[in-house]
Structure 1
Amino acid sequence: MKNSRSKYIRYIFFFALAVSLAACKKEYLNPNGAVADDVLLSARGLTGITVGLQKNFSTTRAGLLYAAITVNGITTNELISVNTGNTNEDRLMTGGVQVDGTNSVLLNVWTSSNKIIFDADNVINNAANLADKGLASGLIAHASIFKALALGNLSEFWEKVPAGTGQNVTFITRAEGFNKAIATIDNALALIAANPISTSFLSNIPTGVDIPNTLNALKARYALFVGNYALALSSANAVDLTKRSSLTYDAQNLNPIFEIATSTNNVIQPKNLNLGQTGANIPDAGDARIPFYTVVSTTVRINGFGAASLAPIPVYLPGEMTLIKAEAYARQATPNLGSSLTELNKVVTRPATGNVLDANYGMGAGLPSLTGPYTQQQLLDLIFKHRCIELFMSGLKLEDMRRFNQPLADRKRNFFPYPFAERDNNTNTPADPTF
């Protein structure tokens, strides 16, 4: 994030302190209503909140991004816990009943997601009242990105998700959670179509996130997750694959993967050079994505998007959109296996350019084209394999393993128990899954 944005970051810290109560209750009341009202009614205050959303999502060990990558990576064997003293990560690695409602890494995902949704709703609901509609659409669109990401993470890890915020909230299904994220995105896309985002708004938020492309990319992701393949395909096609969208960092706000894991080698690291894949899913010899994501320094270490303190982390990769197209073609009511293979080969054959400034950050497999012919199931198997490699440490693999019917034995849990902090304060908390 740019240093020029620090005034907004400081502003949101004071706001957050004023409005927050226990995160487990998802009720963030404010003991100083006048201050909160001023914040929620002013363009500057709402900008401060939405900048804070990005910071709270993308930085620190308690941030949603790092916690979700850790939970997902360890659970799906992408990552290992390298220090048994890190009890919560170590229990994730053991899996099963060892992962319970006391796990602090899971609690970070839960509380961070719910706080982001609460703050995003404040921006979305109050920005609509601003006279400057270009500023309002920017605020709503930016906040909607992080609300959608929070809803998506809750819906990936838990069978049911809170329907809203407040005490004793009810729960909705995870499919409804994904669809709620899509509805949030649709609202944002409609607003920016009617009122293009003002340059004044863009000059006062961190650089890096391409708002329109990110909204469409997340819509494609979550449409795929709920099996709406036509919507997934059209949304992925709406993304400009020559553009990047990433979370950026500075000296005050470091890349959390580097800060917590890479620089210390004391928390998480890749399981092996196969990225934890086994059998037919092991990467092909010469796949250039392996040295992109990993480096050997005595042991296998994190590289790629966690290699440096200021390394940007993509909100989505162009390769994800291409693989969404491949999967949507293969799964639609009348499968189009030819188009599916064409899209898959765009990922398989993309060279590793070494140019970290290109849209795919210089990453590519650099493999020979797949020639087929393939059955639908064979294509889906190949798409899963290449999603696991292309999207390593993206926090998406657990959803992929379920969607592609991978064996339960290949993951440490299928869904997670609800945090005790939620159960102890909400009588509507659902029963925990058995696995």
Structure 2
Amino acid sequence: MKFKIKILTTSLLVASSLMLTNCSLDIKNPNGPTDAQILTSRDGLITLSVGLRQNYSTLGISSLILTPGTTTREIKGITTFTNIIEIEAGGTALPTFNGNVLGIWSRMYRVIGMADDIIASAPTALASDAAMKSGVVAHANLFKAMALGGLATSFEKMPLQTDKLGQAVYSDRTEALKLAVKLLDEAVAMVSATAPSAEFRTKVTGADFDLINSIQAYRARYNMMLGNFDAAIAAATAVDLSKKSSFVYSSQSQNPIYTATQISKDYAPRENFGLPTTLVESDDKRLTFYLSTPNVVVGGETLKKLVGFFDAVDRAIPVYLPDEMRLIRAEANLRKATPDINAALADINAVRTQASGDAFGVNAGLGAYSGGQTKDALLVEVYKQRCAELFMTGMRLEDSRRFGRPAPPTSLVERTRNFYPYPDQERLTNPNTPADPSI
């Protein structure tokens, strides 16, 4: 993999305009500071840290939600753009030159490259300010981990580091998740040893982004994906479920999912979260939280209007949802060598019966679980609750595989791919690129 970061534009341009495009990363500003000046400057690293999060929350989230969301039938591609038509069709015919697949790949490695620069430079540039350094490095660790997790959700193998010579070695997705957990563990240790300063919170994260709880939430998520059940339970329990952590938007830096569904109108959500009717309860309040009318029938399918976190240009998107932590605990307790049915059932019912009080207003308002109380039956219930609670978060492709849902090529009902092929651009520049998955 060959990857070159233009530090100048990914830091100063992002922070000043709060907008990013692929093309902007290739623009040189002869009147601005050099890469070296930014990476050795206290203010430069602070600005780059803001740009890192802004890059992930716009371009990164757009790819991680929309492309896997189409593959798992949460949303339908309704445009004439070829790349979206190809993702919508999925299957074995998905070409290696698809632009949406390239988008996940290139945008996640852009985040990794920016994070790597911060992690490498902060110990020197911020040597005299331990409280700022702690926050900046932990923040970069978090976003590198999130990017690795995003890649691991979509691809079977990937390089763990960028390589400007285009010779990056590939590792299994499990190794990417292990590295993500290692980065998050290091982040916890940093902020525990030296609490980030008030200046860090003011200048980097702002009031809406909760660094500590976000780190713990992603530790829980990736440990669950790895099968580290006790670690997943511990991290999920460490998250304060009353707190919110959000990516914020404005008229200048717009909510990318709103833009794709309401402005460009490239996608629209399917009814019932795109799920078989056996996995949906008609009185689930999350149906009306996320989906609204008017209904439109396209290709024989009923499509809805997307609301929830995606109904305005300046609507904030959660970094994670609190009830994901309950569902992680429930799943981990069920998958342990000795399942804890009672603990799992308690967390499932806490999600099901919550009629109010969720930090983000995502309340199911259902009755208590009344089905079979076996491990297998409760795992189906956890999956069902995850599909409703975590609608349009980019998690369903990973969940669908982990829970052993009907899979292609035998069935295209719940997902149309298992993993994506490697982008042509990567294969042309890196001889280490492995064979594509069949589907």
TM over 0.5: yes
What are structure 1's unaligned runs of at least 5 residues?
23-28
Q: Which residue of 2 aligns with 1:26?
A: none
Q: Which residue of 2 aligns with 1:291?
A: 288
Between the two proteins, what is the percent identity of the paired residues? 37
Report Cα offsets for 1:155-212 as digits up to 9, x if no partner. Answer: 1110001121112100111011011111111111111111100111111125311000
Offset of residue 263 of structure 1: 3.4
Contact 2:169-2:432 at 8 Å conserved across structures? yes
**2:294 corresponds to 1:326:** no
Structure 1: distance between partners of 2:177 and 2:307: 31
Structure 2: distance between partners of 1:206 and 1:256: 20
Structure 2: distance between partners of 1:306 and 1:261: 8
Q: Which residue of 2 aligns with 1:82?
A: 78
- Aligned to 1:100, which of 95, 105, 120? 95
Q: 2:203 aligns to what SS in structure 1? A: coil
One-letter amino acid matched to 1:370: Y
Offset of residue 8 of structure 1: 6.7
Contact 2:46-2:136 at 8 Å conserved across structures? yes
- Aligned to 1:277, which of 267, 270, 275? 275
- Aligned to 1:145, which of 137, 142, 145? 142
User: Which portions of structure 1, spanning 4 or more consecutive aligned residues, are displaced by more than 4 angstroms?
Assistant: 5-8, 11-14, 29-34
Relative to structure 1, is the Cα distance of residues 424 and 32 closer, same or farther in structure 2, using a 3 angstrom cutoff? Answer: farther
Aligned length: 411
Structure 1: distance between partners of 2:73 and 2:18: 36
Contact 1:348-1:368 at 8 Å conserved across structures? yes
Q: Which residue of 2 aligns with 1:309?
A: 313
What are structure 2's unaligned runs of at least 5 residues?
1-10, 297-303
- Aligned to 1:115, which of 110, 135, 138? 110
One-letter amino acid matched to 2:267: I
- The 5 Å alignment of 1:214-229 reads 214-229=214-229
- Aligned to 2:343, which of 336, 339, 343? 339
Q: 1:297 aligns to what SS in structure 2? A: strand
Structure 2: distance between partners of 1:103 and 1:185: 32
Structure 2: distance between partners of 1:326 and 1:87: 40
Structure 1: distance between partners of 2:438 and 2:190: 42
Contact 2:12-2:47 at 8 Å conserved across structures? no
Structure 2: distance between partners of 1:13 and 1:74: 25
One-letter amino acid matched to 2:120: N
Structure 1: distance between partners of 2:92 and 2:63: 20
Contact 2:371-2:377 at 8 Å conserved across structures? no
One-letter amino acid matched to 2:82: T
- The 5 Å alignment of 1:18-417 reads 35-59=34-58, 63-83=59-79, 85-129=80-124, 130=126, 131-166=128-163, 167-207=166-206, 208-264=208-264, 266-272=265-271, 274-281=272-279, 283-299=280-296, 300-352=304-356, 359=359, 361-408=360-407, 409=411, 410-417=414-421
Which shows bigger deviation, 151-160 or 298-307? 298-307
Contact 1:161-1:174 at 8 Å conserved across structures? yes
Structure 1: distance between partners of 2:236 and 2:88: 34
Offset of residue 373 of structure 1: 4.9
Contact 2:155-2:419 at 8 Å conserved across structures? yes
Contact 1:140-1:188 at 8 Å conserved across structures? yes
One-letter amino acid matched to 1:220: A
Structure 1: distance between partners of 2:381 and 2:246: 27
